[in-house]
Chain A
Amino acid sequence: MGIILFELALTFYFAAAIVSITELFKDSKITSKIMLFSAGTGFAIHTISIIYRYVTAGHIPITNPHEATSFFAWCIVLIFFLLQLRYKVSLLSSFIMPVVFFMMLASSMLSREIKPLSPDLQSYWLGIHTVLAFLGNAAFALAFGIGCMYLVQEHYVKSKRLGGLFERLPSLQSLDEINYRLITIGFPLLTLAIITGALWAESAWGRFWSWDPRETWSLVTWFIYAIILHARLVAGWRGKRAALLSMIGFLTILIAFFGIKLLRKGLHVFL
């Protein structure tokens, strides 16, 4: 049952990704409706599949790479919809849905086995820490997508060749502001995730901080986003620089998330 739900969600996300890519080439109301329908249905089924797994496993299902990647994708779709409710960023789906699909695809290829939870993870901190971290990272993922859109649009305007997506991409100012907004949402979430992580570490292992690679990279990420916010408020860094920095920030997150997992070292091995 869980497998069927997951595969179904994957299929709908696949449809959403394909349709959103065709949207880049052809502007049509019908395709954007199909996109919203596929992504929405995918998201609903995905939500049910996560709840199902929660019930089956008896704990929050963010305890192995398969679950974590799937939950990360779920958070991105959630923030995508929230953002669309508020700002209606045209073409955002084209930059986000393919990423969501590939994350789900990666997740589908990882082991889905439900193992009993090791004792040091059995804590209410598990839910708080992971949900905060993934929501924060999802906000940064969206900031990354918006940053890409900014760079594309900025390239059109700067080079004075206004072809392609120029007409349909949002204005530079709004992309810049949404990018900033997402970072102001992601940053406190990341901060809280690091703090709750430290508290959890203290209660589980007796130490707040042990410089394992995941922790270190999270700190690097935290500094990058702190710099983005600081530079914007103090020196007025915005536009292209802010977009580039937000993209670099997300790349460090990806390294933290996938790269370190490949090393299979440190205390966060379970993820």
Chain B
Amino acid sequence: MKAFVIGLNHNTADLDVREKFAFNGPKLEQGLMAFREVPEVEEAIILSTCNRVELYANVTDIEKASEAIKIFLSDFHSINRASLDKSIYIYDDINAVRHIFRVASSLDSMVVGEPQILGQMKDSFELALSKKTTGFLLNKLMKKALSVAKRVRTETRIAENAVSISFAAVELAKKIFTDLSTKVFMLLGAGEMAELAARHLIGNGVKEVLVSNRTHERACDLAKEFNGRPVKFDDFIHEMARTDIVICSTGAPHYILAKGQMQKVLKERKQRQVFIIDISVPRNIDPEINDLDNVYLYNVDDLQGVVDSNKFGRQREAAKAEKIVEEELETFQKWLLSLDSVPTIVALREKAEEIKNEELDKLFSKIQGIDEKEREAIEYMATALMNKLMHSPTAALKDSSEDKDTLVAIIRKLYGINGEKLEKK
């Protein structure tokens, strides 16, 4: 029984690769059921967002399982193995647990502290629960991950970071333009952070909202949500001439706006100021555009720099959050260890011993006038009784190789031994 993570994120794969791996809409449920059917996989969860696709499992043999899951992934999405191997990361056991804790706490996000990931994680877990693809380990693990995330959220100011970045973007817009309510805003692409910033900006009141996306449907959906107008992705440069503020996060692996194009746009709009926020990783807007007059180009790191210099130490908060993750990891690890048979045997025997001693003390305090010999005989009998009773469960725990986890769980339940008690000792 081991936790296992396989996945890819904004750091390891470009958007078009991530899109190929994505489990969108009905594919999520199908994928989840199929994933659960993979031999070696005992429990299964799939998390699929704009920035990451991750599969969580409970497996026995790491080697076999990772091979089986890779085959499943490449078959399910019809992706060749080479491109799969290039983009994915794998974590097992305690590292898998750490990774899941970090993802839930938004420490692994493109913008640290970005709030949406927690909800997305909850949704994936709930789907898995309703489809009954999880069990003992992942249930505990996911619940713990969500509680770790909550702890990070309440005990550190990491969540302020993402909000601060949106806030900084709006503040900057206000220092570039006199009146935002006369300005046209365009959201290029999507992604958690971009949408968060867009929402913040629109909340401050802009004249018009344009939405463009490589997937035009998505643009239409978002446009509806923002009360805006969808723009065909091929036309976005054309619309730039009347756009004052752009938030860009298309995830394209190359620049979608070059310096020369921007110069033309500026000419067309008679050099009126433009504020561009490029949230994409890798960058989508040629950074040299910032050298042009009347264009102010900020990327996430720039905004982060603004936030860091102004508000609070993000690194300090992130370090605090990492510490919380490590603390929680330790308790989880203890729990995991407790599931092993040896500590269970020890715990079982300790418990029996404890009961035996308690009962003997009670007995000896009630009856008086027995000599040492009689006393020894009674003690001997109690020990023998205990040993006989303990023999078969101990033996079963010792030589069970199959279904060991289940057995451990059952015995713990039957004898009322739980992990938390063990930890305290």
A interface, CB within 8 angstroms of B: 153, 156-158, 160-163, 166, 169-174, 176-177, 235-241
Contact (Cβ within 8 A) A172 B310: no
Contact (Cβ within 8 A) B293 A171: no
Contact (Cβ within 8 A) B272 A172: no
Closest to A163 in B: B309
Chain B residues, Cβ within 8 Å of A237: 271
Contact (Cβ within 8 A) A172 B305: no
CB of B346 to closest CB in A, whole Å: 60
Can you list 12 A-B pairs, Cβ within 8 angstroms, ordered by A?
Answer: A153-B175, A157-B172, A160-B302, A161-B309, A163-B309, A166-B175, A170-B178, A171-B174, A177-B178, A235-B271, A236-B271, A238-B271
CB of B165 to closest CB in A, whole Å: 13
Contact (Cβ within 8 A) B293 A160: no
Contact (Cβ within 8 A) B175 A160: no
Closest to B183 in A: A173
Given A158-B296, A160-B298, A162-B310 in contact, is the A239-B175 Cβ separation under 8 Å? no
When chains A and B are docked, how far (Å) is the Cα of A174 from the Cα of B174? 10
Partner of B294, one of A153, A160, A170, A240: A240
Closest to A176 in B: B273
Closest to B266 in A: A236
Q: Return the 4 tightest CB-CB contacts between A and B, nearest first.
A: A236-B270, A236-B271, A174-B178, A239-B294
Mark interface residues in B246-261 (1 if CB within 8 Å of A CB, else 0): 0000000000000000
Contact (Cβ within 8 A) B294 A238: yes
Mark interface residues in B292-310 (1 if CB within 8 Å of A CB, else 0): 0110101000100110011
When chains A and B are docked, how far (Å) is the Cα of A57 from the Cα of B174? 52
Chain B residues, Cβ within 8 Å of A169: 175
Mark interface residues in B222-257 (1 if CB within 8 Å of A CB, else 0): 000000000000000000000000000000000000
Chain B residues, Cβ within 8 Å of A235: 270-271
CB of B201 to closest CB in A, whole Å: 15
Chain A residues, Cβ within 8 Å of B273: 172-173, 176, 239
- Does any Cβ of A come within 8 Å of B90's Cβ? no
CB of A156 to closest CB in B, whole Å: 8
CB of A131 to closest CB in B, whole Å: 32
Contact (Cβ within 8 A) A157 B293: no
Contact (Cβ within 8 A) A162 B309: yes
When chains A and B are docked, how far (Å) is the Cα of A172 from the Cα of B296? 11
Partner of B175, one of A163, A172, A176, A241: A172
- Does any Cβ of A come within 8 Å of B337's Cβ? no
Contact (Cβ within 8 A) B175 A240: no
